[in-house]
A and B are shown apart, each in its own frame.
Chain A
Amino acid sequence: MKITSRAFEKNAKGWIKFVPESADDVWHAYNLIAVDDEVECATMRKLKNEHAGELRESSSKVVKLTLRVRCEDVEYDAEGATIRVKGQNKTECEEVKLNAYHTLEIGIGRAVKIEKTAWDSVDVGRLEEAADPSATADLAAVLIVDGLANVVLVGATQTIVKGKIEASMPRKRGMALMGYEKAETKFFSNVASVVERHVDFDRVKCLVIAGPGFTKDTFTDFLKLEAVRKNWKTLQTNFSRVIKAHASSAYVHSLSEVLENPTVRALISDTKAASEVKALDDFFEMLANDPARAFYGPAHVMAAHELNAIDKLLITDTVFRTRNVAQRKMWVRVTEEVTKSGGIVHIFSSAHASGEQLEQITGAAAILRFPLPDLADAELPAL
């Protein structure tokens, strides 16, 4: 993300101007924009011709102008990597009435200005992350088994499934075995073309081919030959960056196994995705070994925090996107206090598999410094 200018103080009001350079940046922007923020960027507006009363149809023209809108609703579009900000217009101009509703679209390459009444520590943290160029490492993975493949791009903030390829492979039942090789070749070439189309070796650190059994090996051999057959230059020159890893299935949730593979970890150790997977794994380990030190659920996490017991706090960014200002303030305070007392806070991206998993168990979890067995089993009232 390119931040072109800024004028704000922590915990006070202010603004920033920036240009999102990638889908990850758009995701960061989505997490920064909150209800009541004022967002300004170039947009298209359809102007109705005001000369009504004439018998012919009212003509309208589309005008490009810069509008400032007070946000009432923010929506993220993963497909197009854009954000839509809906709200009332706060720009005084000829073309658009004050307080008329308008929807701004923010995307890659479009300059934006965001003005907030208060920039808290979580917002500041996110800006720092967004501006850090080293955190943009990507990983591509093909999870493959007989008859199923998922081609996935793991970015700094999001995991996107670029393609799911399914095929019915003949089983070894009597006559049906004929046609296995043909079916396999067809399946492999479909997967290969999805890989070629979506894996950009300039962005991606490595391509991991993963899965159970031997399919990953057979497919990697096929891919190498196909790259030569189809003259895919980038794939040919980058084949050294194709590595194989074992995974227990070809479903997307097995991606976490790929991210824990030692060879892969060595290459992507500093990425957010990898650290999130590790943190969640540590939480599950603790739950297996010493359950009174692994809490989840807002009420339990809060209770543990009040006793200053939190060593690691795991929380999804969805919690901070809440419209409930008081709730958000409370969680910001918790993250600041945990950090101050020497603990670690992991803000999981809900667009990664591990973030989704954390969401399923309420979005807030904590690894404690010491066990709290009575509290662990207690039924606490909802926050």
Chain B
Amino acid sequence: METTETLVKEFAAKTRVGGDATAFAGYEASSAERAAYTSPEGGDVHVVILGHVDAGKSTLSGRLMYALKAVDDRAMHKNVRDSKASGKSSFAWAWVMDCRPEERERGVTIDVSMKRCVLDGHRQLVVLDAPGHKDFVPNAISGASQADAGVLVIDGAMGGFENGFAATPGHTGQTREHARLARALGLHSLIVVINKMDCVEYGEERFRFVVDALQNFLIDDVGFSQEQLTFVPVSGIEGTNISPDDAAALPDALASWYRGPTLVDALRAVKIPSRGAPKPLRMPIADIITEVRSLGGAACGGKIEAGSLMKGQKLLVMPANVSATVKCVEVDGIAVDFAPIGTSVDVGLSDVDSRHLEVGSVLCHASHPITPTDEIEVRVLTTDMLRVPLLKGSRVVLHSHMLACDATIEELVAQVDTVTGDVVKASPRCITREQSAILRIRTSRNICVEPVEISPTLSRVTLRMNGKTMALGVVTAIWRS
């Protein structure tokens, strides 16, 4: 039986570097760092809000922020006043998150917004409100890449769910694509919110109908397990069933049959699974920050996916391969000396030229940096949206953590069995929909990814073509010259 190693031909001057789980065996983590790895009770919980366009994600996020006291009455009054003045009064809650002028004008979320609030006694909630529009899926991918759990918002109104869930050649709703992305990007739990329940008078029948259809899809098709899913009926516009503090205000129509958690309860129940052994620093840059004085001229923001950050620490910026020193670390504008794995931070760097910082670059531990590469090997599963088969030479857009770049499929190494991973056909003529395959991909510039055995987060890849997600998978090896 052929294995991947025997099939992948060696070519001049480059070595294939597979995933070696013992790669960081010699890594010495500080005690503070180790503590964050072994006891993930405190810290940040990142949640991405996904769903088809107009499902009500931004309105729900705004309500959530208000319920968790991240937005006060005065700010809300301003939103209500301003949105009414623009003739968009129904968007008042959405405007908590949609703050770009263009988003307000067009009434649509373009970029992921990130807002922080207190979840409970020892944890903070970081809400990433993603766009639902199909043109902005790349932004949704970056948002979901930073998340630990997901909230999939479904429009429960008659026709709304059907529209978002549709999968016909003429029209595909984003519900399916977002659900698949959620799973492929490693979200541990998914809270499925059936929104706009006010439009169906909080009817149990409608709720059950939508839940059944979704459950079948999410479990059988996408691959979530029952334990990972929670279904919550809400009304974003009316604020129903969002927070336990408003339990008394639950409308009778809902209270008569619903015994489950509120949205906030469900969020508080999210548990971040064990992080395994400590690994050296990896922080993908999500954002370049230029206008914050306290951070200085070379600053960036992102989520610490491995290791930790400390003020004064020396690190390496890859793929630029330049060193930098941590001048200061801020969490929501407040300076801290130390930030552990799982925290979203803003970092001010010194001794580095800001042009080396790019979205998609990774801040790495100085002694254990990522090896940049332009040639990677991936194992992917193609989606049902793939129509024209993948051939050698097919042009794709590769997404991984915060980065996106154009790439070419250099070689169809093998078609493999989706479940066992055994080779079905070596060097196939083409790869069609819903097949698993091993591909060798050349990117247009050097990128930072790691094989799946080394890093769960920095190994996930999404391949898109013509505005559709064609394949999802992981990096199995990188080619190093």
Contact = CB atoms under 8 A, between A and B. Distances in A.
Contact of A174 (B100, B102, B114, B288): B114
A176 interface: yes
B273 to A, nearest CB: 25
A178 B290 CA distance: 9
A213 interface: yes
B393 A359 contact: yes
B102 A214 contact: yes
B31 interface: no
Contacts of B114: 171-174
A296 B429 CA distance: 9
A46 B87 CA distance: 76
Contacts of A63: none
B289 A176 contact: yes
A360 B392 contact: yes
Interface stretch (B214-222, B246-254, B383-391): B383-391
A213 B136 contact: yes
Nearest to A250: B406
A15 B165 CA distance: 66
B113 A172 contact: yes
Which of B287, B290, B358 has the most chain A CB atoms closer than 10 A to its own CB?
A: B287
A296 B389 CA distance: 13
A212 B136 CA distance: 8
B289 to A, nearest CB: 5
Nearest to A167: B288
A288 to B, nearest CB: 5
Interface string A291-320: 100001000000000000000000000000
A214 B429 contact: no
Interface stretch (B104-112, B194-202, B274-282, B363-371): B104-112
Contact of A179 (B291, B395, B467): B291
Interface residues of B, number: 49
A248 B288 contact: no
Contact of A357 (B359, B393, B429): B393
Interface string A166-201: 001011111111111101000000000000000000
A261 interface: no
Given A175-B291, A248-B466, A253 B406 contact: yes
Contacts of B255: none
Nearest to A168: B288
A249 B100 contact: no
B305 interface: no
Which of B102, B110, B333, B346 has the most chain A CB atoms closer than 10 A to its own CB?
A: B102
Contacts of B102: 214, 218
Contacts, number: 112
Nearest to A285: B388
B158 interface: no
B116 interface: yes
Contact of B111 (A171, A179, A183, A249): A171
B419 to A, nearest CB: 24
Interface string B180-198: 0000000000000000000
A330 interface: no
Interface in A46-61: none
Given A170-B290, A171-B287, A175-B289, A291 B389 contact: yes
A288 B389 contact: yes
Interface in B411-448: 429-430, 444
B353 interface: no
A291 B388 CA distance: 10
A176 B291 contact: yes
B99 interface: yes
Contact of A175 (B286, B333, B387, B465): B333
The 7 closest A-B pairs by CB, nearest first: A360-B393, A248-B467, A172-B113, A212-B135, A251-B406, A168-B288, A253-B395
30 contacts: A170-B287, A170-B288, A170-B291, A171-B301, A172-B97, A172-B114, A173-B286, A173-B289, A174-B301, A175-B292, A176-B301, A183-B290, A212-B135, A213-B136, A248-B464, A248-B465, A248-B467, A249-B397, A251-B397, A251-B444, A284-B388, A285-B388, A287-B389, A287-B430, A288-B389, A291-B389, A360-B392, A360-B394, A361-B393, A376-B429
Interface of B: 97, 99-102, 106, 110-116, 133, 135-136, 286-292, 301, 332-333, 346, 357-359, 387-389, 391-395, 397, 406, 408, 429-430, 444, 464-468
